[in-house]
Amino acid sequence: MRRFLSGVLCLLLLSMATLSQAQTPTTPSDDDAALALLEALDVENFRAKGDAITAILQSDDERARDWLQALLDGRLQRTSEGRFVVVLNNTGRDWPVADALTEEPLGEMSRRDLDRIGINNALRNQLRSAIAVVDLYSPNVERRRTSAERLLGEVDETLAEPLEALIAEEEDSQVQRRLAQALAIYQTEAGQMEGVEALRGSLHPRARVALNRAANGDDPVVADAAREALLSIEQNLKLNRGLETLYFGLSLGSVLVLAAIGLAITFGVMGVINMAHGELMMLGAYTTWMMQQLLPGQPGLALILSIPAGFMVAALVGIAIERGVIQFLKGRPLETLLATFGISLILQQLVRTVISPLNRTVVTPEWMSGSLVINDALSLTLNRMYVLGFALVVFAALMLIMRRTRLGLEVRAVTQNRAMARSMGIRATRVDIMTFALGSGVAGLAGVALSQLTNVGPNLGQNYIIDSFMVVVFGGVGNLWGTLVAGLSLGVINQVLEPWAGAVLAKIIVLVFIILFIQKRPRGLFPQKGRAAEG
């Protein structure tokens, strides 16, 4: 790999120097040469294919990069007449193709009439390196950054000199840093002190590998310096790992908070155990899917619109449940539990029959995919960051409603002492309906968030109902702060335990912990106070 890269890089540097001088138009003899290059690819032996790829790379042909990319994607094919084509879109049974040499579109061809030029994993790596090398000179900064990162660990002595020249010429600081890092890694593995010094504090895993090798090397001075550098890196790494686990815990916790907060409200105000809570979340998730179907090609806009839509849909279903079933079962918690369990089954089957028993695909918009890179050892996935932020916003909004609005005042009054509130003129029934609608709506919002993190299917609710109850029981009923603290702490505990005990055992330990906690404090972390509450 290294010999290949260094050879190629040298040749490329030479050719780039001459190429920048003159751009010659393609002549018929160039086309013949190009055809020969492509024909060299259409052989059985993979090693011969590798040589052919090198030949293409060393040619000055400006179509070379496109060919190599098409070969990598499996889109370089040959017709039965021997013509080389590039497939523009390989989905379905008939594919639009273009001539590989002239780039003119040739309409559609059936895949039965085309023969693909195959590659294997080794060639795939070779192609990626080749494209990376070409991209080092690309005017596109993004391409230069990716290819610079690919160079880490791939540098050898023939590459070192031209690399230094490249670093000096480079304008973009990020690319420069990466190239310098690549050079330092080479120097470290070659046992040179300046490499070790340059790699001090670098969190990139490849740097650590290089320092490890230097620490086991011959020169005691260099080995000592490498060991020192490694120790300081280890400390830094531990810190980053801890931060990462904390982030995982907070993001899991934010999901739990969103799922449980609606339940905390309805349970707190009405004492109703709503087993259909999970299905309300499922409805919110399906609303997101529906929105994306209605607005194809705009997943981001659909997602934002499904926030109010999910709230409304779940709230309306919640009102229907309250008016249709729960109001007749006041003061009978066991019957309410059974009735709402039945409703949850009905809702699940309804979705299965009307839509489909299979999962639905919800697309994550561009701006939510990938991760935020803090440093080489810590990157935070974006979708979970948005969900964390969303959970905090929802929490803040609910606090506002509870503290600053008339409805919130009435809800708090009814929660503390229903009879007294009624005698003050508050219509408790109306408060019940509004509370249930609010709790259900928030469940819908949780569903919208969950659609970005997990599969959207009829069983989505079942996966979260137990967790929601766990959080409510742990945090204390009817108390928003309790739900927030409980949710986040359970999430963090779960994520801290997971690498040590495994996913299944971690869940078991958390459940056992909650059972023991409830023995000591039956009313949870933040119980409600007041005579009526304790009565």
Which range, of 54-62, 123-131, 182-190, 388-396, touches other proteins by CB under 8 A?
123-131
Query: Is 244 near other proteins (CB under 8 A)?
Result: yes
Cα 412 from Cα 402, distance rounded (Å): 7
Q: What is the 3-state secondary structure (H, E, C) of 142-197?
A: HHHHHHHHHCCCCCCHHHHHHHHHHHHHCCCHHHHHHHHHHHHHHHHHCCCHHHHH
Please report how close the Cβ of residue 37 comes to other proteins at its closest, in angstroms: 22
Interaction of residue 80 with other proteins, rule CB under 8 A = no
Question: Which residues make Cβ contacts (< 8 Å) with residue 297, sequence separation at least 6?
Answer: none
Contact between 1 and other proteins by CB under 8 A: the answer reads: no
Note whether 455 binds other proteins by CB under 8 A: yes
Please give the Cα distance from 190 to 8 (Å, whole number).
Answer: 21
Residue 513 neighbours by CB distance under 10 Å: 14
Q: Which of helix, strand or coil describes residue 390?
A: helix
Nearer to other proteins, 199 or 438 (CB): 199
Distance (Å, rounded) from C-alpha 190 to C-alpha 217?
9
Judging by DSSP bridges, how do beta strands 84-87 and 371-375 pair with one another? unpaired
Query: Cβ of residue 238: shortest distance to other proteins, in angstroms?
Result: 12
Q: Which of 16, 48, 122, 420 binds other proteins (CB under 8 A)?
A: 122
Say how far apart CA 388 and CA 314 lie, in whole Å. 21
Binds other proteins by CB under 8 A, chosen from 126, 147, 202, 251: 251
Q: Does 311 bind other proteins (CB under 8 A)?
A: no
Q: By C-beta, is 120 or 405 nearer to other proteins?
A: 120
Could you say which DSSP state residue 203 is in?
Answer: -
Q: How far apart are CA 488 and CA 481, in angstroms?
A: 11
CB of 24 to other proteins, least distance (A): 34
- Tell which one of 21, 91, 140, 235 touches other proteins (CB under 8 A): 91
Chain position carrying tokens 């020169």: 219
Binding mask 16-55 for other proteins (x = CB under 8 A): ----------------------------------------
By CB under 8 A, tell whether 284 contacts other proteins. Answer: no
Among 384, 469, 480, 484, binds other proteins (CB under 8 A): 384
Taking the C-alpha atoms of residue 382 and residue 370, their distance in angstroms, rounded to an integer, is 6
Q: How many CB atoms lie within 10 A of CB 290?
A: 19
Identify residues 138-167 at the interface with other proteins (CB under 8 A): none
**Shortest distance (Å) from residue 44 CB to other proteins:** 14
Part in contact with other proteins (CB under 8 A); list of ranges 13-21, 226-234, 379-387, 514-522: 379-387
- Listed in sequence order, the residues at least 6 apart from 323 whose beta carbon sits closer than 8 Å to its beta carbon are 433
* 411 within 8 A of 269, measured Cβ to Cβ: yes
Q: Which residues contact 201 (CB under 8 A, 6 or more apart)?
A: 229, 232, 233, 236
Question: Does residue number 209 form part of the binding site for other proteins (CB under 8 A)?
Answer: yes
Can residue 369 be called a binding residue for other proteins (CB under 8 A)? yes
Q: Is 374 in the site for other proteins (CB under 8 A)?
A: no
124 binds other proteins (CB under 8 A): yes
Q: Which stretch binds other proteins (CB under 8 A): 157-165, 319-327, 422-430, 447-455?
A: 447-455
According to the binding rule CB under 8 A, does residue 454 interact with other proteins? yes
DSSP structure class, residue 360? B
Among 125, 293, 405, 429, binds other proteins (CB under 8 A): 125
Looking only at Cα atoms, what is the longest distance across the chain?
99
Dist. CA 188–CA 184, nearest whole Å:
6
Instruction: Tell me how far CA of residue 489 lies from CA of 1, 185, 399, 521, in angstroms.
Output: 48, 41, 19, 17
Minimum distance from residue 197 beta carbon to other proteins (Å): 21
Closest CB 246 distance from other proteins, rounded Å = 12
* Distance in Å, CB of 128 to other proteins, minimum: 6
Per rule CB under 8 A, is residue 345 in the interface with other proteins?
no
Is residue 84 a contact partner of residue 93, using CB atoms and an 8 Å limit?
no
Q: State which of residues 459, 509, 517, 532 lies at the interface with other proteins (CB under 8 A).
A: 459
Asked if 93 interacts with other proteins (CB under 8 A), we say yes
Sites of contact with other proteins (CB under 8 A) = 73-74, 90-93, 112, 116, 118-122, 124-125, 128, 205, 208-209, 212, 244-245, 248, 251-252, 352, 357-359, 361, 363-364, 369-371, 379, 381-384, 453-455, 457-459, 463, 495, 498-499, 502-504
